[in-house]
Homo-oligomer: A and B are copies of this chain.
Amino acid sequence: MNAMTYFHKHHNHQFSQRIIRMNRYVSDLQSQIVNEIVNLGFEYPHSEEWIYQNGNGGGQSLRFEDHDLIERGGVNVSCVQGQLTPRMFESMRHHHKTLADMHPTDQDIFSATGISLVLHPKNPHVPTVHANFRLFEAEVGASQCWWFGGGADLTPYLLYPADAKHFHQTYYKAMEFNRPGLYQKYKQWCDQYFWLSHRAEARGVGGIFFDDLCTEQGFEEDFSFVRTMGDVFIESYLPIVKRHLLKDFTDAEKKWQDFRHSRYVEFNLLHDRGTKFGLLSQGRTDSILMSMPKVASWSQEPSVAEISRAAELQNVLKLPQNWIT
């Protein structure tokens, strides 16, 4: 399956070589990730190709619904191009320094490609994972700019500290080799980004987060660095899945997972910039909201004293930890 097919048929504006190369990379990563799940003995997700109705391009969603491993989720690739409206420009200008000095016209264009995945496992011993790697380009008047963004973060329901350590250390090792010192910055950015201020708690145990990545080293170096992070995603998550996959779970643990899902929903709908930008740019609602869990419960808070590893989770959510040393 090649995610390029949906837009090669439909473009009437040229995607840049940068966008095309990033799209090839994330399409390949999408296949690899899904193959790893299938290789564990689970069925292939449901594939949907879609066309971006408000411009050029489209995407491929590989969706999990009532799957034996993944209760709900998806591994999506998209590559779209359209008008950069003044409203979108304003909403991005605050976050992207390369836009700060540009002057929008009514003929500006954006292009974006990336992979976005959320996996909500059925078994509450297996953490939810989210990852996202994307390239954004804007043509504003006669100027052009681009930047990478993305990250990966883990949301356990029952705390196994070894999982959080493994996840963080995987990114730490990959990044320290490439760009020493950056892990710490991106780890803190992740902790800040996924903070639910109205609950005074983190969404999960974090990971890495970055945006507006466009360094003086140029596109090749930045693209290579982003691939480094994408390349270790499988290594960061699959061993955790394998560890817990066959564990039995109780009704109380499942209820606790559904209760915690409500915080995930609150974060994504109240705070997440990607969700807001996607819905604002009239993106595909079903693909954007594949990040929602199957069931979220705003029931009375379960008593964590009766659920092993739940109180431990609550403690680390209140104060983000250092998982490296």
Determine whether A199 belongs to the interface, using a CB cutoff of 8 Å to chain B: yes
The reply to whether B199 and A296 form a contact with Cβ atoms under 8 Å apart is no
Cα A262 to Cα B269 in complex, Å, equals: 11
A291 (CB) vs chain B CBs: closest residue: B298
Give chain B nearest CB distance to A199 CB in angstroms: 6
The reply to whether A294 and B293 form a contact with Cβ atoms under 8 Å apart is no
Determine whether A289 belongs to the interface, using a CB cutoff of 8 Å to chain B: yes
Which residues of chain B have C-beta atoms less than 8 A from A266's C-beta? 269, 289
Determine whether A182 belongs to the interface, using a CB cutoff of 8 Å to chain B: no
Which residues of chain B have C-beta atoms less than 8 A from A299's C-beta? 65-66, 72, 294-295
Which A residues, 222 to 245, have Cβ-Cβ distances below 8 Å to chain B? none
- Interface 1/0s, chain A 289-311, versus B by CB < 8 A? 10011111111100000000000
Main SS class of interface, A: mixed
Determine whether A285 belongs to the interface, using a CB cutoff of 8 Å to chain B: yes
Question: For the complex formed by this chain, how many copies does it contain in all?
Answer: 2
Determine whether A247 belongs to the interface, using a CB cutoff of 8 Å to chain B: no
Contacts A270-B279, A279-B270 given; indicate if A265 touches B198 (C-beta within 8 A).
no
A275 (CB) vs chain B CBs: closest residue: B270
The reply to whether B198 and A285 form a contact with Cβ atoms under 8 Å apart is yes
Cα A262 to Cα B265 in complex, Å, equals: 10
Contacts A198-B285, A285-B199 given; indicate if A295 touches B294 (C-beta within 8 A).
no
Give chain B nearest CB distance to A123 CB in angstroms: 18
Which A residues, 36 to 55, have Cβ-Cβ distances below 8 Å to chain B? none
Which residues of chain B have C-beta atoms less than 8 A from A292's C-beta? 262, 298
Which residues of chain B have C-beta atoms less than 8 A from A289's C-beta? 198, 266, 298
Q: Return the contact of A66 from the options B269, B288, B300 (Cβ within 8 A).
A: B300
Contacts A198-B285, A279-B198, A279-B270 given; indicate if A265 touches B296 (C-beta within 8 A).
yes
Which residues of chain B have C-beta atoms less than 8 A from A288's C-beta? 198
Q: Beyond the given A262-B292, A294-B297, could you list 7 further A-B residue pairs with CB under 8 A, ordered by the A residue number? A: A66-B300, A72-B298, A198-B288, A198-B289, A269-B269, A294-B298, A296-B298
